[in-house]
Amino acid sequence: MSNDNLLQELSSLCAGFFESSSWDQLVHKILSTSIQATKADRGTIFIADEIDEKSNKKQKLTSLIATGLGTKKISIAANQGIAGYVFTTQAPLIENDALKNQMFLSNIDSETSYETKKVLAIPLVTPSGKKLGVLELLNKADGQSDFVPADLQAAQVLALYASLAIEQNKNTESLKADKHKLLEDRKERLSVIQDNKLLYSNHSFLQQTYSQLPLMAESDSSVLIGGESGTGKELIARYIHLNSSRADKAFIVINCAAIPENLFEAELFGVVKGAATDVTERKGKIELAHGGTLFLDEIGEMPPAAQAKLLRVLQEKVVCRVGGEDEEIPVNFRLLAATHRDLPELVKNGSFREDLFFRLNVLSVQLLPLRKRPKDIGFICEGIMDHFSKTRGWKSIKLSDKALEALKSYSWPGNIRELQNRLERAIILAGSRDVLVEEDFDLSTNQLGSSEDSNVAKLNIGNVSLKEAKNHVEKQHILRILNEVEGNRTKACEILQLSREGLRKAMLKHKIAA
């Protein structure tokens, strides 16, 4: 048979590889076709484990399905035996006297009760060079003949088609798994949001704001969400994403205030291998959000250089990784941003780009602090307690009338986040009681440290070392300054006489939330 006719016949046989609906069907089809083409007696496919390059775990080859073995699994080291040699060197091998080959693993014959005499092994590798495993064919069906170069030629063609089909199958299964996970995550988050009374209000301003959210979700325009820390800005962003056409795609969050300036661009835009010593290639948050939504929290803290690059990404719909400025990667994502800062004021003083502000501020949502909506506190508490009940299995618990009035009268500098934390603490410490009382909340102390009661006097001085006292005073002072400047880190740095990096490290040291 001429080479052209052989290729045509093999291509026709291999067409069935791509029609297999399951992994088991695909492997069975590859083996049956390969055995038929080479007149072998038996065959198996060894698949390599997918392991992290940085992991110390040793790679293995595992035969999940082999003709004549039923469901029995064979697992060997990736450099062991004839299969391991072929996988490691990527060189095909014909061995017509297996017992004389030092690489031959006779113990496998003992496990399988099969006498291997002749072996034809071919690496399974994609056109891009990704090593998938090894196709092994054993003995001739007539029990006498040797494997010959023509068998090797046919097997190599089969292995090429098999590699493509295996990679396609893996990619398809991975996409199915990712989609299933995204859908499950969406269901869970959407149910939490729909049940969450944070999206209801007795305040006329917020009623109007919340009524516009479904319309915002339907569009693909940028949304700028404003409000003090802890008012629920990320919740609004998630609601918009989960009710949009991008709901089954990724929702990627990046807190601009939590990333050191020297690492910010690599985190947002990605980095190419070798951009700096020991740097490996990494996708940035923008690439990870492709097809979905990117949420930039505390965007007012974004460094100026990154602002300029982000503006170009929004204009050109391409991103360049750090160190790879010549390679443009197309991206398609929706941008949502949030800040507790006064962005128009930042534009005026030159610390935020005006052109980027206009790009962001197509649609806007402004959230009110909790102290301006005391009538909402009752059902917000109900929503938070319902959430605890569903997610943690906690029993239902109620607020006494006095406790509710005390919560309404409190100033809530930490807004809904502080309310949730205080509720959680009160429920835990209430033990078996079914009703929370005013004393459970200890509202005489301010968790942000602005109250006199949260000063050093709160310490049991007799048991505190000088170092502990200094740390306590330092933490309370930082908290008080952050509270006074309403979280404005630039102003806080000026007052504390710290660099931005110095403030970030101090907040990490004292476990102060970003």
DSSP secondary structure string for all residues of 250-298: -EEEEETTSS-HHHHHHHHHEE-TTSSTTPPPEE-HHHHTTTSEEEEET
Residue 263: give its domain's CATH number. 3.40.50.300
| Whole-angstrom distance, CA of residue 116 vs CA of residue 96 | 10
pLDDT of residue 454: 42
**Token digits for 229?**
């820390």
pLDDT digits (tens, 9 = 90+) for 418-464: 899 899 999 998 888 999 999 999 887 554 444 444 444 444 545 55
In a domain, 232, yes or no: yes
- Does the pLDDT at position 243 exceed 80? yes
Q: What mean pLDDT comes out for the span 345-370?
A: 94
**Token digits for 334?**
């929706």
Q: What is the DSSP string of 422-439?
A: HHHHHHHHHTT-SEE-GG
Residues 355 and 377 in one domain: no
Average the pLDDT over each of 45-54, 92-101, 394-403 and give the range with the smallest value: 45-54
pLDDT of residue 278: 66
By C-alpha distance, which of 488, 482, 486 is closest to 506?
A: 482
Residues 220 and 86 in one domain: no
Q: CA angle, corner 35, sides to 33 and 37, nearest 5? A: 65
- Does the pLDDT at position 501 exceed 80? yes
Residues 294 and 393 in one domain: no
pLDDT of residue 251: 95
What amino acid occupies position 451?
S
Residue 480: give its domain's CATH number. 1.10.10
pLDDT digits (tens, 9 = 90+) for 187-239: 555 554 555 566 778 888 988 888 899 899 999 999 999 999 889 999 999 99
In a domain, 75, yes or no: yes
Residues 336 and 429 in one domain: no
| Whole-angstrom distance, CA of residue 158 vs CA of residue 6 | 11
- Does the pLDDT at position 264 exceed 60? yes
In a domain, 258, yes or no: yes
Residues 224 and 353 in one domain: yes
> Over the range 388-400, which residues count as b (16 or more CB within 10 Å of their CB) and which as e?
beeeeeeeebebe
Residues 130 and 257 in one domain: no
pLDDT of residue 189: 55
In a domain, 216, yes or no: yes
Q: What mean pLDDT comes out for the span 96-125?
A: 88
**Residue 505 or 466, more confident:** 505
**Token digits for 159?**
């292995």
pLDDT of residue 52: 60
User: What stretches of 49-118 adopt beta strand conformation (E)?
Assistant: 60-66, 74-77, 93-95
- Does the pLDDT at position 268 exceed 60? yes
In a domain, 183, yes or no: no
Spatial contact of 425 and 388, defined as CB atoms under 8 Å apart: no
pLDDT digits (tens, 9 = 90+) for 458-475: 445 455 566 777 777 788
Residue 395: give its domain's CATH number. 1.10.8.60
Of the three residues 323, 346, 368, the one that is the final residue of a domain is: 368
Residues 360 and 389 in one domain: no
Q: CA angle, corner 157, sides to 125 and 29, nearest 5? A: 85
pLDDT of residue 362: 96
**Token digits for 207?**
């009623």
Residues 348 and 428 in one domain: no
Cα 456 versus chain centre, distance? 41
Q: What mean pLDDT comes out for the span 357-374?
A: 94
Give me the number of domains the chain comprises: 4
Residues 382 and 492 in one domain: no
| Whole-angstrom distance, CA of residue 140 vs CA of residue 118 | 7
Of the three residues 405, 440, 475, the one that is the final residue of a domain is: 440
Banded model confidence at residue 9, pLDDT cuts 50, 70, 90: low
Of the three residues 368, 389, 408, the one that is the final residue of a domain is: 368
pLDDT of residue 23: 82
> Over the range 208-245, which residues count as b (16 or more CB within 10 Å of their CB) and which as e?
ebbeebeebbeeeebbbbbbbbbbbbbbbbbbbbbbbe
In a domain, 447, yes or no: no
In a domain, 323, yes or no: yes
The top-scoring range by mean pLDDT among 136-150, 271-285, 311-325 is: 311-325
pLDDT of residue 265: 92
- Does the pLDDT at position 486 exceed 80? no
In a domain, 185, yes or no: no
pLDDT of residue 75: 85
Average the pLDDT over each of 104-118, 208-222, 334-348, 422-436 and give the range with the smallest value: 104-118
Distances (CA, A) of 284 to 77, 182, 264, 328, 432: 35, 20, 10, 13, 47
DSSP conformation class of 370: G
Percent of the chain with pLDDT over 90: 39
The top-scoring range by mean pLDDT among 104-108, 139-143, 145-149 is: 145-149
pTM of the model: 0.55
CA atoms within 13 A on the CB side of 187: 5
Residue 138: give its domain's CATH number. 3.30.450.40
pLDDT of residue 67: 55
Structural domain of residue 200, as residue ranges? 196-368
| Whole-angstrom distance, CA of residue 402 vs CA of residue 398 | 12
β 40-48/93-95 pair status: unpaired
Q: What mean pLDDT comes out for the span 472-483?
A: 80
pLDDT of residue 452: 40
| Whole-angstrom distance, CA of residue 224 vs CA of residue 342 | 12
Residues 98 and 54 in one domain: yes
- Does the pLDDT at position 391 exceed 90? no
Average the pLDDT over each of 80-94, 215-229, 254-268, 480-494 and give the range with the smallest value: 480-494
**Token digits for 62?**
């595992």
Residues 381 and 415 in one domain: yes
Residues 418 and 355 in one domain: no
Average pLDDT of the chain, as a whole number: 84
pLDDT of residue 402: 94
